[in-house]
Amino acid sequence: MISESAVRVRENIQQVIVGKDEVIDMAMVAVLCEGHVLLEDVPGIGKTMLARSIARTLGCRFQRIQFTPDLLPSDVTGINYFNQKNQEFEFRPGPVLSHVVLADEINRATPRTQSALLEAMQEQQITIDGVTHRLPRPFMVLATQNPIELEGTFPLPEAQVDRFLIKLPMGYPTEEEEHQILLRFQREDPLEDLEAVTKPDELTEMQWAVRQVRVENSVRKYIVDVVRATRAHPEIQLGVSPRGTLALYKCAQAWAAIRGREYVLPDDVKLLAPYVLTHRIIISPATRLRGREIADVLMDVIDTVPVPVERI
C-alpha cells in the first residue's frame, strides 16, 4: 500500500533529517504526483541534505547541479558534439537526464540558464538542435534557494515558480532536535549509509495508483472555488493559474493515499493549500505595505469559501 511505502520512506529519511515530519510528508506528496519541489529557507537549515536523502531513499538516479552565474543552459541539458573518430555529431546528455535532479541555489543562475529547466519540468523532455529527448520516468526537480541574500541572485520568473508543485520552508529545529543533530553527526555522516527503500518501477506504480483516488464532485468544486477565489480577492494582484488548480487536485489525491484512504476530504484540500498555492500568488503592493503576508491573505480566501458537508 502507498501508506506503508510512505512510512518506510519517512523513517528512512529520518535517519538523516531530524524532525521535519511534515516537510518529509509533503515531499512524498510531490514524489507521488511526479511534481517538483522548491525548498526555500536560510542557509544551513538542511535543504540540500533533505534533497540528497530523498534521492537516496527512492533508489533513483541522482544528479546535482550547482547553479552559478556562469552556468550555461548546455551545462544543464547537454550538447551535441562532433566526434572526430566517427566523423559525426553525438549527443552528450546533461545532468537533467536523471530521475532526481537537485538544482542547488537555483536563483544564482541567469534567467537564460533557469529557462533551460522549463521544458523539462513541464513536458518531461528537452529539445536540443531540433531533436527531442525524453526524460527518464519518474522525474522530479528538487530546487533550493535562499530568500534572504539578494546580491548575485536572479529571482525566478513566475512561469518557472508556477512549475513547482510545492514550495516548502524548512524552519529552524527545536532545541531538542538540535541536540539530536549533534549526536547523530558526531562521528560520521548518516547519509553515507542510507539505503534505498523503493525502486523507480515501484514509484511509477504508486504514481498511477494515486490517480485512482476518488474525488467527489463536491470536493472537486471546492478545489475550483478556492482557486477562483484567489483571482477575485481585492488584495491579490495575480491569482492561482489552472496549473495550480490541477496541482492542488493531484496533491489532495496523494495525501489521501498516504493517509490510507481511497477518497479525498475537504480537510485535505485545506491542509495542502498553503504548500501548493502560496508561491503562485502575488499580492498587491498596498497589501505588502500594510505588513500582510501571502499566507495570511490565502487563509482569508480559504475562510470565505464554503466547505462542502455531507448531507444526511
CB atoms within 10 A of CB 90: 11
Which pLDDT tens digit goes with each residue over 65-101?
Answer: 998 888 888 888 888 877 777 777 788 888 888 888 9
Are the beta carbons of 11 and 18 closer than 8 angstroms? no
Q: Would you tell me which CATH number, out of the four given (1.10.10.10, 2.30.30.180, 1.20.1250.20, 1.10.8.80), belongs to the domain 211-304?
A: 1.10.8.80
Dihedral in degrees, nearest 10, Cα atoms 144, 146, 147, 152:
-120
Which of 108, 116, 111, 104 has the alpha carbon at shortest distance from 143?
A: 104
pLDDT band (50, 70, 90) for residue 269: very high
Mean pLDDT of all residues in 28-43: 87
Rounded CA gap, 154 and 9, in Å? 34
Cα distances (angstroms) measured from residue 294 to each of 54, 75, 254, 275, 278: 28, 35, 25, 12, 6
**Structural class in CATH, domain 2-203:** alpha beta
Mean pLDDT of all residues in 134-143: 88
pTM equals 0.87
Q: Domain residue spans in the chain?
A: 2-203, 211-304
pLDDT at 245 over 70: yes
